[in-house]
C-alpha cells in the first residue's frame, strides 16, 4: 500500500474525532452540490450523491441542510456556481501532489493553494506536471460483513469492475473512472450497500521519503486538506508504516 493510502487511512480515523465540524459541513455540502449538479438530485441514480449524503449523515448534518444543498446543485434553489479544479505540484523530495478543489472563486482558491505549497517547501506547477504520476480510477468500498470475497468478485466482475482488494475489514472494488457509476449500480442491484463510491487518483510511480522529508510532506498535505475549498489531496510518497504512525500520532 502506498504511503498516500496509509496516510489517508490514518487521517480517516483521526477525522472521526475532529472537532472542526463546521469545516467538514462546508466541504460535504459542496460535494453534495457538485454531485447533484453533475448527475441530478436523485441519490438512487447518482452514486456520488448517495455517497455524499451518507457522509453528511455521519456528521449529523440536518436533513434540511442536505435538501438545500441538493436543490442548489440542481438549480431549484438559486444559482450557486461551484466548479471543480485540479491543482498540481510537488512537495519535498519531488513528491507529486494533486489537489482537488471545489470553489466558487477560482482566483481566490488558486492563490491560497499556491501560498500553501510555497509555505511548506513545495511548488505548484502547471496542469499535467504531476498527474502523469497517477492513474484515474474508481474505488467502491464494501464492508466485509456484507459478503465474502468470492461472491463479491463474481458480482463486481459481472458489473464491469477490474479487481477486488481485501484488507480484512473491507473490500475495495477497483474500476475504471468511466465505469465507476455502472459498477456501483450493479453492486446495489445485487443487494450490497457500498459505504463509499468515489473517483480516486492511484500513484503509478512512488517516491520514498523518511525523516525530515517525510515531516515536510505531511505538513504540506495537512495544510492543503485544511483549506475550506479542498475536497481531496492525492500524493505519491511511500513511507515506512511505523514512521508514518509515529509522525501522525
State in Å, rounded, how far the first CA of the chain is from the last one.
Answer: 19
pLDDT of the residue at 45: 86
pLDDT at 248 over 80: no
Domains in the chain and their CATH numbers? Answer: 3-74 (1.10.10.200), 83-132+206-247 (3.30.70.980), 133-203 (3.30.70.980)
Q: What would the mean pLDDT of 104-109 be, rounded to a whole number?
A: 94
pLDDT of the residue at 2: 57
Return the sign of the alpha-carbon dihedral for residues 18, 20, 26, 27. Answer: negative
CA angle 240, 242, 245 (to 5 degrees): 110
Beta-carbon count within 10 A of 11 CB: 16
pLDDT in tens, 158-211: 999 999 999 888 999 999 999 998 999 999 999 999 988 889 999 998 999 999
pLDDT at 20 over 90: no
pLDDT in tens, 232-245: 999 999 988 787 77
Beta-carbon count within 10 A of 35 CB: 23
Amino acid at each position: 500500500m502506498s504511503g498516500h493510502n496509509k496516510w489517508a487511512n490514518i487521517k480517516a480515523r483521526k477525522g472521526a474525532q475532529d472537532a472542526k465540524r463546521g469545516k467538514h459541513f462546508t466541504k460535504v455540502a459542496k460535494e453534495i452540490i457538485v454531485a447533484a449538479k453533475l448527475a441530478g438530485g436523485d441519490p438512487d441514480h447518482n452514486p456520488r450523491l448517495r455517497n455524499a449524503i451518507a457522509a453528511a449523515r455521519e456528521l449529523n448534518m440536518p436533513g434540511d441542510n442536505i435538501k438545500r444543498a441538493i436543490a442548489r446543485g440542481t438549480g431549484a434553489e438559486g444559482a450557486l456556481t461551484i466548479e471543480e479544479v485540479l491543482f498540481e505540484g510537488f512537495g519535498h523530495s519531488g513528491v507529486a501532489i494533486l489537489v482537488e478543489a471545489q470553489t466558487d472563486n477560482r482566483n481566490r482558491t488558486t492563490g491560497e493553494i499556491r501560498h500553501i505549497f510555497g509555505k511548506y517547501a513545495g511548488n505548484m506547477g502547471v496542469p499535467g506536471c504531476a498527474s502523469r504520476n497517477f492513474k484515474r480510477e474508481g474505488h467502491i468500498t464494501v464492508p466485509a460483513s456484507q459478503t465474502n470475497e468470492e461472491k463479491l468478485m463474481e458480482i463486481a466482475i459481472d458489473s464491469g469492475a477490474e479487481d477486488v482488494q481485501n484488507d480484512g475489514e473491507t473490500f475495495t472494488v477497483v474500476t475504471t473512472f468511466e465505469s465507476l457509476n455502472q459498477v456501483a449500480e450493479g453492486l446495489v442491484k445485487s443487494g450490497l450497500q457500498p459505504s463509499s463510491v468515489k473517483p480516486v487518483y492511484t500513484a503509478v510511480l512512488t517516491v520514498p521519503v523518511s525523516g525530515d522529508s517525510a515531516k515536510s510532506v505531511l505538513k504540506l498535505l495537512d495544510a492543503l486538506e485544511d483549506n475550506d475549498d479542498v475536497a481531496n489531496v492525492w500524493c505519491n510518497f511511500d513511507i515506512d508504516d511505523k514512521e508514518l504512525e509515529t509522525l501522525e500520532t
